[in-house]
Structure 1
Amino acid sequence: MRPLLDEGGSASAVSRDYRVELDTAQGAPLLNVFGGKITTYRRLAEDAMDRVMVALELDRPAWTAHGDPLPGGDFADAERLVAGWLQRWPWLPAALAHRWLRHYGTCTEVLLGDARGLDDLGQHFGAQLYQREVDYLIGHEWARSVDDVLGGAVPSSGCA
């Protein structure tokens, strides 16, 4: 659940910003996070961890600015990566390779695996969706429903 910051306006006018509060009045620290959005989750997480680290009297540097990339984000040149895929899997439509780059990054290589042609991707459901992608989403991205597959609103477990 992600409660929004209600500042007395209409629901559509409610801020998508966040507020982090750390309550230490009753002993163990209690961290409350209100609001936020998926595009700022790393910044929010860092803010939350900074507050917890202070409360626990621990000293540790921030981890998001120069930390590890998200699963699949371990590349610097997107066009070069896609070009490599199209050389390795010449049957792969470029539009599909670019979509998978945006969705899965280098995890696309796990998704493609040993595929030797479009037929190896299984049933084509339309709109560039193949059975192999659905299987990947179930096996690696925790998809459990059609909404998870079509909406992509599932957390990544990594592509290993």
Structure 2
Amino acid sequence: MPGKPLPDVIAPGLDVLFCGINPSLTSAARGHHFARPGNRFWPALHRAGLTPRLLTPDEDRELLASGLGVTNLVDRPTRTAAELSPDELRDGAVALAALVARYRPAVLAVLGVTAWRQATGRPRAALGRQEERVGGAVTWVVPNPSGLNAHHQLPDLARLYRQLRPG
């Protein structure tokens, strides 16, 4: 969307729309998603079989050719997601639902359970497929690929992301 510090990579009818928490300062400066060194988004997508080859952050628009897209829950870039307020996360969830309803991806994949809990007011939300749909899309919460998230390693991310492709 125009006017965002980091524009969405989105088109109508995607298979999967990935939703990060918010842009890193590095991603905002470079103008590409998941551009921070150590972020495992690109290798996880490739290992999951969602992209035909390992893409770089500078190639994020090429996701569209694979039926994938990327947006963020909150537009404001920060050093870490912990800098976001609960109000920003809740407002982001409302805007995300409207975006998903407009573009109609089959699956929405939110990258980060802690932010999702705060954004939705569901403190017990867990990783995996969610009971509710957001904007009409089947909704999953999967681990954040940030290198700061040590709880899940690259093979775990790839295994979980592989489950997202509809059909």
TM-score of the superposed pair, with normalisation by structure 1: 0.25
Pick 1 or 2: higher relative contact order, CA cutoff 8 A, min separation 6.
2
Tell me which structure has the larger Cα radius of gyration: 1
Q: TM-score, normalised by structure 2?
A: 0.24
* Higher share of residues assigned helix: 1
